[in-house]
Amino acid sequence: MTDLETPVVTPPRGGALRRAAPALLGYVGVRALGLIVLALWSAANDKRAHQLLTARWDSLWYTRVAEFGYGWEVRLPNGDVHSNLAFFPLLPWLERLVSALTPLSYADAGLLVSTLASLAAAWGIFAVADQVYGPRVGVCAVLVWAVLPVGIVQSMAYSESLFTALAAWSLYAVLTGRWVTAGVLASLAGLTRPVGAAVVAAVWVTAIASFVRERSAPPADRAPVWRRALGMLLAPLGAAGYVLWVGHRTGKGMLGYLDIQAQWGNGFDGGYAFARFVGAKFTSFPSALAGVGLIVGVALVIWLYVTCVRQAQPLPLVVYAGIVTALALCASGYFGSKPRLLLPAFPLLLPLALALARLRMSRSALILGGVAAASAVYGAFWLNGSGPP
């Protein structure tokens, strides 16, 4: 096993699925526990777990895009308009494809896509962590991602699992020098969520850094330029294509998509609105406790990112995690969604995975098992209550 303190890039190894099997089996176990607890909790509250996973919140918007296409919108009493153009197209495209090929409804197709994507995401997270730190840390990284308090979202017909899978494998491709693959996956990530820009940035920054680094290298030691250049060219095509299409459809050019998001109350203000939201919690004692919890949570996220930098994580992971974190924390709307928006930022979990990997296996299993049980209960409580907006 590699030294846990110093990231290394190891050569490709055979038996990739066999190597990842312990991580994937552990992931399936955690998610199965979460779904069992959700089913029991929902039944006790006269609700259907299936409906909570497939037919509420964003999942409804995705299935409507799959069924009716773009152009559907909701006008609120205050005059605001929520358009389904805010939702990127890859997940509904896949829902439509699966529904056309199987007897599944669009909602169930979305659940199937999300389930398979969550397994691909777990495998991708393992591949990245294994490439940098070794297999034991890879297993721990996957399990830490699985037991996150909002981990139940990984089992919903949402786009987080699909996006995380594409992002993780794109980053793995960058780490292993597969630039064209990295660019294609980054482009698909850009068709999945707006935060696909983080994957594009990771590809571009790493490629540019490699170009600069190789300027002083002998010609014989330089990697082929055209692969990196092609990867850089491909990476932004998905996000740019959709944003330009929305701008053309709305007649507002490059600002069309930003205008759509603004109508939903989303924007980027550097965290000002979020800071005001947290500050407003301190107007009374009960809500002040929530305010303290929010401050502690943000401080933890920032500490994890600083730790990633201090541990010298590879450049693409640092760039990707930094942008995902900044976009999540500095968005001006939907403050309750921030934990869910941070779900794809899996490099932030690598310091925790490193710490767990240093422990005896029995102790790390006990810790992860306890957190998994708590996460399952929280996920069931959350979805039966306010749930993810």
Task: Let me know if residue 9 belongs to a domain.
Answer: no
| Predicted local distance difference test score (pLDDT) of residue 4 | 41
Closest CA to 132 of 334, 340, 313, 374: 313
- Residue 98 identity: V
Residues 140 and 357 sit within 8 Å (Cβ to Cβ): yes
Task: Tell me the torsion sign for CA atoms 238, 243, 244, 246.
Answer: positive
In a domain, 388, yes or no: no
Q: Report the alpha-carbon distance of residue 133 to residue 54 in Å, rounded.
A: 36
Residue ranges for the chain with pLDDT beneath 70: 1-14, 217-223, 389
Task: Write out pLDDT tens, residues 330-353.
Answer: 988 777 789 999 999 999 999 999
What is d(CA 386, CA 389) in angstroms, rounded to the nearest whole number?
8
Residue 156 domain flag: yes
Whether 1 is covered by a domain: the verdict is no
Summarised one tens digit per residue, pLDDT across range 203-254 is: 999 999 998 887 776 665 566 788 999 999 999 999 999 999 999 999 988 7
Q: What share of the chain is helix, strand, coil (3-state, %, to 5)?
A: 75, 0, 25
Q: Which two tokens stand for residue 166?
A: 């594409």
Q: Which residue has the tokens 């909701």?
A: 74
Q: Tell me if 352 is assigned to some domain.
A: yes
300: exposed, middle or buried (C-beta count within 10 Å: 0-12, 13-18, 19+)?
exposed
Structurally, the chain folds into a number of domains equal to 1
Hey, what amino acid is at 352?
A: L
In a domain? residue 11: no
Domain contains 301: yes
Residue 7: predicted pLDDT: 44
Q: What is the pTM of this model?
A: 0.93
Instruction: Write out the residue range of the structural domain in which residue 330 sits.
Output: 19-383
